[in-house]
Amino acid sequence: MITRPRRPAGYWVERILALAVVLSLAWSFLYLYRFGYLPQPFFYEPSDTWMDWFNTAYWAHNPGAYDTWGTIYPPLSFLFLKVLTNPVCYPGAEGLPSRACDTYGVIAIHAIFLVNCWLVWKSFRKIDPRTAAPRTIALCLGMPMAYGLERGNLILLAFTFMLLAYGPLVRSARLRWIAAACAVNMKVYLIGSIFAQLLHRRWRWFEGALVATIIVYLASYAILGDGTPWQIYDNITDFSSGWQAASLLDLWYTSSYKPVLSLLNGSTFPVVGILGSRFVDVSLVVVTAAIHAVQASIVLAAVASWFRPEAVPPYRLVFLAVALALITSEAGGYTQVLLILFVFMEPWKGFGRKFAIISAYVLCLANDIKIDSVPPAVSDSFLAGGPRITEHFVGIGPFLRPAIVLAMAFALAMVTIRDAWIDLRRQGWRLGRRPGTSEGSFAGPLPAERST
């Protein structure tokens, strides 16, 4: 008698959640077809499609990226855009004319997206074939990836390098180092993912990736001829200190509570007059306390991982490092795609993991819930090819999504501390060994890494 293999726990849960993600994106496309622009939480300016790519590409082909534009991108970003865009389209003013001209750039944006989807599918198939389909669908068609695609943001390229560096596809350690170096040279806040390797006593990996990061930076700086370390540092400092939420538009699609705190604390927007001073004061205390509590839990999880590295899979340490950076600052809602990638490497077991996985699916939903209306306006829509009357609203998403990110990070931090504690009780109070065949990086041991 032939028996069918038993379906894993959560089989139908994940498929239903993936279907919800598909339906939410389908509704967004139906909205686009009917009204001529994408609904919230897609970007509020419908004329600005792909402009994160083309505005940056302009400065890749023209001088002044660091002293005039004040960019925080390292030089490697501009080198990639020089290769992936048509230089004849960037002789004039920055902005929309370049987008209309540069067909190569449009093709490159969508080619990177398709490559990412293929890499995600291959990776999840290696990790667990039973959950690969729903998780690939949710990640590739979910709101963070779709938002990054609509913006044409370089998070798409950073995602590629993060997956190659910390996913199961690449066996060569040196190629992983180079991929990690390229990720950091695309998005500086990903440097924590390299330092997370120290918690697993992967000294050579850490040294190799850090040296590769420096070499990639120096090479890209030498080729571009711009973007000194102090220029990047000054621009990051100016961006962080000078950023201040001025309206509800600054809360459009976020991954952290920093815009909310900025709006509540000293913003020019009349929040106190609308909500009342008591509500604002209580909200500031509660939100700040929640952020610090999650930060503390991640630090404790890092300490626990250091003492018991064999009990903690490497991909979770990368998740915690990236999560700590993203809940502390605000890098845009599309950065959630990096968190979801590593959450979807978790097996469906235990309350904390299940909670994090379900939270990741919820973050992939491309919808928002209306709280209050905003007066309609006439805007030019790039996708519709002309002006449209746009109707937006105050949604619950800017307040709910950062809470989900915090809860997801807290859940996996607690799982990490619990696993380390169980291992400590089993093996006694001694410094943990270097991880060999633990729960592993991908529902099993780390793939053997070749030195070349």
Per residue in 66-109, pLDDT tens?
998 989 999 999 999 999 999 998 886 666 788 888 999 999 99
d(CA 364, CA 296): 26
Residue 432 lies in a domain: no
The pTM score is 0.91
Residue 6 lies in a domain: no
Cis peptide before 41 (omega within 30 of 0): yes
Spatial contact of 286 and 264, defined as CB atoms under 8 Å apart: no
| The pLDDT of residue 249 | 65
Q: How far is CA 365 from CA 39, 145, 215, 308, in A?
A: 13, 11, 39, 36
pLDDT (tens digit per residue) in 159-193: 999 999 999 999 999 999 999 999 999 999 999 99
Residue 348 lies in a domain: yes
Residue 124 lies in a domain: yes
| Mean pLDDT within 307-329 | 93
Spatial contact of 348 and 131, defined as CB atoms under 8 Å apart: yes
Query: Which residues 6+ apart lie within 8 Å of 203 measured at CB?
Result: none
Query: Which residues 6+ apart lie within 8 Å of 270 measured at CB?
Result: none
| Mean pLDDT within 131-135 | 96
* Helix (H/G/I), strand (E/B), else coil: 370: strand
Counting other chains too, the contacts that 396-400 makes at CB distance below 8 Å and 24 or more residues apart are 396/368, 396/369, 396/370, 396/371, 397/40, 397/41, 397/253, 397/368, 397/369, 398/251, 398/252, 398/253, 398/254, 398/259, 398/260, 399/251, 399/260
DSSP string, 185-240: TT-GGGHHHHHGGGGGT-HHHHHHHHHHHHHHHHHHHHHH----HHHHHHHHHHHH
Residue 414 lies in a domain: yes
d(CA 90, CA 87): 6
Query: Which residues 6+ apart lie within 8 Å of 125 measured at CB?
Result: 132
| The pLDDT of residue 376 | 87
| Higher local confidence (pLDDT), 243 or 130 | 130
One-letter amino acid for residue 32 of the chain: L
Q: Which of 1-5, 303-307, 354-358 shows the lowest per-residue confidence on average (mean pLDDT)? A: 1-5
| The pLDDT of residue 181 | 97
Residue 439 lies in a domain: no
Q: How many CB atoms lie within 10 A of CB 9?
A: 12
Q: Give the domain extent around 359.
A: 35-427
Residue 12 lies in a domain: no
**Domains in the chain: how many in total?**
1
Q: What are phi and psi of 192, to 5 degrees?
A: -60, -30
| Mean pLDDT within 268-285 | 62
At 437, the pLDDT band (50, 70, 90 cuts) reads very low
At 272, the pLDDT band (50, 70, 90 cuts) reads very low
Residue 433 lies in a domain: no
| The pLDDT of residue 250 | 64
Radius of gyration, CA atoms only, the chain = 22
Residue bearing tokens 């048509």: 86
| The pLDDT of residue 433 | 55
